[in-house]
Amino acid sequence: MKLQDFKNKSRIILALDFPDYKFSMSLLNSIQDFISGVKIGLPFLLGVGINKVKKLISAFSKKLFFIADLKLADVSHVESLVIESLKEMKFSGIIAHAFTGISGSLEESTKRAKELNIQVFLVVAMSHIGAEEILNRNFDHLLKITIKVDADGCIAPATNPTYIKRAREYLGEDYLILSPGIGAQGAPPGMALKNGADFEIIGRMIIKSTDPINVVRDILKKQKDALKIGE
């Protein structure tokens, strides 16, 4: 299944970065019916190890879409090797940087990803202040790259809805927009969806909660209300 096939289930993608395997298994078991996917970050992958990540994905892959958030930024043959390894681990999506460009990097690696049925989401802007120094200044050009290499979508920050709006206007409805920055980084649930995102990536707001199920339910309610406003 593609990530877009999960939109009717939920607009939440859980961000797993803290390397606690037992906690993560328990958490996913409790909220798997309320979220669409899981974004596994490098700290989690390195902290728990490849074998445990494989077990986690295997346990929940029937209900959840798994994305490897490695923010790939390399030449094509290296990126392709990483993508092949992620396929073996049963990931269905990967996050890479758009700034590496087309020829010699993304043109070839996105092609390899499509051959392996892995969706590619390119970072076109980030939420931290330092991103405005270089990365975010090239936002429009990075959107062009997203289309030229035929990626499946992009990553744009919920903390700056202007980027989401511009991305949606430029990309149209054929590309997915995934937005981090909800909760701990300051954006309220539903903010990104209201401005054109398809999914909101949420981590600490759920993970650090003492009652994650109710937190997720509250997020879903706020997202539903936001989508009504954005219509």
Catalytic residue among 9, 71, 111, 148: 71
Annotation says 71 is catalytic: yes
Digits of tens for pLDDT over the chain (231 positions)?
A: 999 999 999 999 999 999 999 999 999 999 999 999 999 999 999 999 999 999 999 999 999 999 999 999 999 999 999 999 999 999 999 999 999 999 999 999 999 999 999 999 999 999 888 988 999 999 999 999 999 999 999 999 999 999 999 999 999 999 999 999 998 788 999 999 999 999 999 999 999 999 999 999 999 999 999 998 545
Q: How far is CA 13 from the centre of its chain?
A: 7
For residue 13, give the nearest of 36, 29, 30, 33 by alpha carbon: 36
8 A C-beta contact, residue 223 and residue 7: no
Structure-block tokens of residue 227:
């989508």
Q: Is 40 helix (H, G, I), strand (E, B) or coil?
A: strand
Determine the residue type at 137: R
In this structure, what are the phi and psi dihedrals at residue 107, rounded to the nearest 5 degrees? -60, -45
* Per-residue confidence (pLDDT) for residue 231, from 0 to 100: 53
Which residues, including other chains, have CB under 8 Å from residue 226's CB and lie 6 or more apart? 189, 190, 191, 193, 194
Residue 34 structural domain:
3-230
Residue-wise pLDDT for 179-217, tens only, equals: 999 987 889 999 999 999 999 999 999 999 999 999 999
Structure-block tokens of residue 220:
């879903």
Tally helices (H) and strands (E) across the chain. Answer: 10, 8
* Per-residue confidence (pLDDT) for residue 2, from 0 to 100: 97
**Residues 170, 140: Cα–Cα separation, whole Å:** 9
We report the CATH number of the domain holding residue 210 as: 3.20.20.70
* Per-residue confidence (pLDDT) for residue 129, from 0 to 100: 84
**Residues 123, 129: Cα–Cα separation, whole Å:** 15
Three-class DSSP labels, 98-148? CCCCHHHHHHHHHHHHHHCCCEEEEECCCCCHHHHCCHHHHHHHHHHHHHH
Determine the residue type at 11: R
In this structure, what are the phi and psi dihedrals at residue 137, rounded to the nearest 5 degrees? -65, -20
What's the total number of domains in the chain? 1
pTM: 0.96
Structure-block tokens of residue 86:
């992620």
* Per-residue confidence (pLDDT) for residue 229, from 0 to 100: 59
